[in-house]
Amino acid sequence: MKQNLTFAVILLAMLFMINAIPLHKRKTEFLKCSDLFPAPLDVTAMTPDPIQAGKPVTFTISGNFTEHPITSDYHQDITFSQGFPYAAEFSQDICSDSSSRNIPKCPVTDYNKKMIIQAPADLPDNYTITVYVWNENDGSDWLGCTQASVG
Ligand SMILES: *[C@@H]1O[C@H](CO)[C@@H](O)[C@H](O)[C@H]1NC(C)=O
Ligand SMILES: *[C@@H]1O[C@H](CO)[C@@H](O)[C@H](O)[C@H]1NC(C)=O
């Protein structure tokens, strides 16, 4: 029994060493969610990287919507998920039909936008960040989506 425990501890330590070295240097990598989404969308910067629980994070998001112009029906969303039980969602307008608001007038085709959110205080060790542009009124209408696995 005691021997098993020692073995387990050594194994854990080894796993930790293997993981620890690249983990701190690895930049969070965003990849296209799937080919189903018509427009390219990317997170060109995320600061800080890694994200600190409960602290602000700045995402720089860019996309080319030349062929699928963004109207005021669309929002830019960021979610944190770990399967279904854990989820935090942040949503922001991209453009507006009215020129009085301090966001661009719709439609928008090329954009490069910063979105600052407060990272969830209960951020787990591993989670998925999904950044997407979608029409909230029509849940199946997603224009672009990019995703990163953390942890
Ligand atoms: C955006 O996409 C259009 C059509 O696919 C292309 O012609 C244009 O060069 C792209 N713009 C940028 C900035 O990549
Ligand atoms: C992610 O974290 C959960 C809870 O901390 C753990 O049960 C799970 O094994 C982890 N998954 C991976 C791939 O590390």
User: For residue 68, is it within any domain?
Assistant: yes
Q: Is residue 5 part of a domain?
A: no
Residue of the CA atom closest to atom 9 of ligand 2: 126
- Domain count within the chain: 1
Nearest to 133 by CA among 51, 69, 58, 47: 69
pLDDT of residue 86: 81
Is 82 among the domain residues?
Answer: yes
Answer whether residue 53 shows pLDDT above 80: yes
- Measured from the alpha carbon of residue 67, the closest ligand is 1
For residue 24, the model assigns a pLDDT of: 55
- 10 lies in some domain: no
Question: Which residues have CB under 6 Å of ligand 2?
Answer: 124-126, 151
Is 61 in contact with 41 (CB distance < 8 Å)?
A: yes
Give the number of the ligand closest to the Cα of residue 62: 1
Q: Model confidence over 28-42: pLDDT tens digits?
A: 999 999 999 999 999
Confidence of residue 124 (pLDDT cuts 50, 70, 90): very high
In this structure, which ligand is nearest to the CA of 122?
A: 2
For residue 6, name the pLDDT band (cuts at 50, 70, 90). low
Cβ pair 63, 144 in contact under 8 A: yes
Q: 34 alpha carbon to ligand 1 midpoint, in Å?
A: 19
Model-wide pTM > 0.75: yes
Structural domain including 123 reads 27-150
Ligand 1 center from residue 5 Cα (angstroms): 58
Ligand 2 geometric centre to CA of 70 (Å): 37
Does some domain include residue 11?
A: no
DSSP string, 97-123: SSTTSSSPBSPB-EEEEEEEEE--TT-
Distance CA 137, CA 91 (A): 13
We report the CATH number of the domain holding residue 31 as 2.60.40.770
Question: What 8-state DSSP symbol labels residue 126?
Answer: S
Share of the chain above pLDDT 90, in %: 70
Query: Rounded CA gap, 90 and 61, in Å?
Result: 14
